[in-house]
Each structure stands twice: as C-alpha cells, then as structure tokens.
Amino acid sequence: MFPLLLDSLEETLFMMLSAGLLTFLLGLPIGILMAATRPKGMHPSPMLYKAINFTIELACSIPYLILMIALIPLMRHLLGPDKGALVTILSLSLAATPFFVQTTTKALLRVPRALIEMGISMGGKPLQILVKILLPEALPLIMQGFLRTLTHLLGFSVIAGALGAGGLGKLAIERGYYQFDLNYVVGITVVLILMLQAIQFCMRFFITEDIHGH
C-alpha cells in the first residue's frame, strides 16, 4: 500500500505545486490590475474593471467540481489527448486563479491609501510605488491568500484525480471507492490531513504580525 500511496502523493504534490505556481503567476498581475483599475484606484478604468470583476465573480460562483468537469475536456481538446499532466495542471490553475485574484485584490486594498499618496508626493512613478510600497506592504496578506489557494488546489487536484488525472484522487476512487479497501481510505485521509496541516503551519509565518493593526 505504501509505495502506491507515496507515488500518488508525489503526483498530487506535483500537480498542486505546479498549478499553484501557475496560479500565482497568473493571478498576481490580474489582482494588481483589478486593484489599479477600480474606481478609486491609481488608474481608474471602469470598463476594464467591470469586465474582469464580472469574469472573476462568475468563475468563483461555479462549483469547483462542475468547473473541473467543464475545463478538463476543454483543455484536452485544445492541447491534444497525449498531454494529460499539462491538461490537469492548466485546468487546476484556471479553476484556482479567480479565488487567488480576489484575495490578492483585497490584500492590496488593505494598504492605507495615504501610503500610496506618500509615494506620489515623494515623486515616485507608478511602477516604483507598486514595487517599493504596495507589494511589500500587501505581501503578508497576499501570501496568506496564496496558501489558502493551495489548500483549495489540494482539494481540486483530488477531484481532478477522481475525474481521470492521477494522484491521490485516482487512488481513492480505484481502491477506496470501487474496491472499498478501508486501509486506503484511512491512509489517503491521513495524508491529506497532514498536507493541510503543513500548509496551515506555513500560514502561521504570515499571520504573526497583522501589520496594519486590523
């Protein structure tokens, strides 16, 4: 049982982490764009903001299972049938990005407006203000949001496994559900709990100082 469990864990970890990386790279710019284009942001652009906001909210309101059911065949069709891992990772990150965008935007909005004005009055350019003031000040909250996104991704990747991708989800369906091997059910559950605990543990590093005193 253990070799099998370890192999599946490795697959799940790989899916989760690479999808996480992709989500971060995709979600951070969109989050920044949303914070900047909102009505009281640095570069208000109501049309763009509304368009992004609508898409994000729409994506967030679709249940994840249904989103995955829709995304996996779509990706398979777009990328070809032989790229199973890539299809899963892309689908996972597309499903997780809206959530991460929302937490990132919220984190950026928590930075006091007066700090941004301070940057402007120092003669800072928008990019300088973003890199030197906004992102560093919002980073703890952005990282908290990212770790929460990772926990979501863990759940998604298990669901993806059940839908045909590899990893713990596949193992749980094959051994736990069809063969009803209680050992696997317990083993997989324990592994998942441990992984969530590990993420929670990491989160603590970012919560120790709630830096804006809220």
Partner 1 sequence: MKVSHSEANVKNMAIVLKGIEKVYHSPRQVTCALKNVSLKIEEGESFGILGSKKSGKTTLLRCINLVETPTSGSLTVASTPITGQSSKNLDNIRRSLSYMMHPPLFMNTRTLYENIALPLEMTGKKPMFIRESLNSLLTALNLQDWANVYPYQASLFLKQRASFARALSTHPKILLCDDPTAGMDHKSLTLFLQMLQEMQERYKFTLIIATDELEVIKALCKRMGVLHHGQIAEQGTVANLLATPQSAVTKEFIKTAARGEMPANLRRRLKATPGENLYPILRLSFLGSSLQEPALTEVIRNFGLSINILQAHLETLVNQTLGVMVMEMRGEHEPVHQAIRLLEEKGLNIEVLGYVPATT
Query: How many residues sit close enough to partner 1 to count as binding (CB under 8 A)?
Result: 23
Give min distance, CB of 167 to partner 1, in A: 37
36 binding partner 1? (CB under 8 A):
no
The DSSP line for 73-99 is HHHHHHH-TT-HHHHHHHHHHHHHHHH
CA dist., res. 40 & res. 30, Å (int): 17
Q: Which of residues 168-207 bind partner 1 (CB under 8 A)?
A: none
Instruction: Round to whole Å and give the CA distance between 128 and 89.
Output: 33
Q: Does 3 bind partner 1 (CB under 8 A)?
A: no
CB neighbourhood size of 158 (10 A) = 24
Backbone angles phi, psi at 90, to 5 degrees: -65, -45
From 7-15, 51-59, 132-140, 173-181, span contacting partner 1 (CB under 8 A)? 132-140
Which positions ≥6 away from 179 have C-beta within 8 Å?
Answer: none
Smallest gap from residue 101 Cβ to partner 1 (A): 22
Instruction: Out of 46, 136, 186, 193, point to the residue binding partner 1 (CB under 8 A).
Output: 136
130 three-state secondary structure: helix
Whether 191 contacts 39, CB under 8 Å:
no
Residue of 1, 85, 120, 207 interacting with partner 1 (CB under 8 A) = 120
* Residue 124 near partner 1 by CB under 8 A: yes
Contact call for residue 213 and partner 1 (CB under 8 A): yes
Give me the residues that bind partner 1 (CB under 8 A), please. Answer: 112, 114-115, 117-125, 128, 132-133, 136-137, 139-140, 209, 211-213
